[in-house]
Amino acid sequence: MDIKLAEALLRRKELQEKVDRLRKLKETDWTEFKANRVNVTEGLDEIKAMVPRVSIQQVDHAFDWHARQLRLIDAAIQQANWNTELSVGDEVMADYRDPYVKEE
């Protein structure tokens, strides 16, 4: 599939944001199970538990998939970077010269 460089740059940004979010999720202790049992009345207990909505395998798979896609698009962008030349005027690449400092 051929895409414009601008599309590749946008895709890279999108993938980087997803990888960053998934990395934070992988690094947290969100998978810890906690339970709290409170005696409401005699013979009746209230149990509260926090459980994750997704498994660690799901997070790992999503992270790995997005990270791979990011590496692929980044490699394509780098290849275009090395193979593409831009036409710019000489002034674009010139060094700054302070007009108030006398050159020797």
Which element (helix H / strand E) includes 62?
helix 56-83
Digit-coded pLDDT (tens) for 16-43: 999 998 888 776 656 565 666 667 677 7
Are 8 and 80 a contacting pair, CB within 8 Å? yes
pLDDT computed for residue 35 by the predictor = 67
> Confidence class of residue 91 from pLDDT cuts 50, 70 and 90?
confident
Mean of per-residue pLDDT scores for the chain: 83
pLDDT computed for residue 96 by the predictor = 86
Q: What are the boundaries of each domain within the chain? A: 5-83
The residues that bridge with 45 in the sheet, in sequence order, are 39
User: What pTM value is reported for the model?
Assistant: 0.60
Query: How distant is the alpha carbon of residue 11 from its chain centre?
Result: 11
CA dihedral of residues 83, 85, 86, 88 (deg, nearest 10): 150
Higher pLDDT, 76 or 53: 76
Provide the CB-side half-sphere exposure for 53 (13 A, CA).
1
State how far the alpha carbon of 51 is from the alpha carbons of 21, 33, 54, 55, 86, in Å: 20, 6, 9, 10, 54
